[in-house]
Amino acid sequence: TPAVAEERALNILRFKSAKYSMERPLMLGGALAGADEALLTAFSAFALPLGEAFQLRDDVLGVFGDPVVTGKPAGDDLREGKRTFLIARAIGSSGPEAGASINAMLGDTSLDDIAVDALRSLIIGSGALAHTEHLIARKSEEAFEALAGLPIDTVAKRALRLLAEAAVTRTA
């Protein structure tokens, strides 16, 4: 079902990316610096939604990013058939015909730029891009709220805020 596909995609980004890229490194650094369990838990509350927002942004850039900025060919994630949250949402939110078209084109390594643009239009038309952008904003806000409550000095908090802002607003 579409809801299961979306949840699966979110679980993959949470456990493959958010924990690996954000949560674990921050917790490891905290542990090495002598952080107690409460601080490590607070780090997790900040890093997990940040990591999720980061990966969601990466997925959007993989489909809609400017190749001059990202350094990756336009539509490569579509040609590779990556089943991201964005794609799961697009298929689940589309009508039967559009959903079938997305499924048929996804993973076709011979897609030319015109076909990639058509696939992008289907994704936009499904509302999946807007929904994913909303989810990025929600996860970012969750991370920033957790950051505000971290019991750490202002220099460290500012550094983490700059990292978080760069992670979720990046274009490459």
Pairwise CA distance, residues 118 & 44, whole Å? 39
- For 120-141, letters b (16+ CB in 10 Å) and e give bebbeebebbebbeebbeebbe
Query: Which pLDDT does position 68 carry in this prediction?
Result: 92
Contacts of 92 (CB under 8 A, 6+ apart): 1, 2, 3, 5, 6, 99
Predicted local confidence at residue 91, as pLDDT: 97
Q: Which residues of 45-69 are buried (b: 16+ CB within 10 A; e: fewer)?
A: bbbbbbbbbbbbbbbbbbbbbeeee
Q: What is the pLDDT of residue 1?
A: 86
Q: Which residue's entry shows tokens 């999946």?
A: 128
Q: Is the pLDDT of residue 165 over 90?
A: yes
pLDDT at position 109: 96
If you ran DSSP here, which 8-state letter would residue 18 be given?
I
> Which pLDDT score, from 0 to 100, does residue 92 have?
96
Say how many C-beta atoms besides its own lie within 10 A of residue 116's C-beta. Answer: 19
Handedness of CA 153, 156, 161, 164 (dihedral sign): negative
The predicted-structure confidence for 36-77, as pLDDT tens digits, reads as follows 999 999 999 999 999 999 999 999 999 999 999 999 887 999
Q: Please tell me the pTM assigned to this model.
A: 0.94
What stretches of 46-169 adopt beta strand conformation (E)?
none
The domains of the chain, with CATH numbers, are: 2-169 (1.10.600.10)
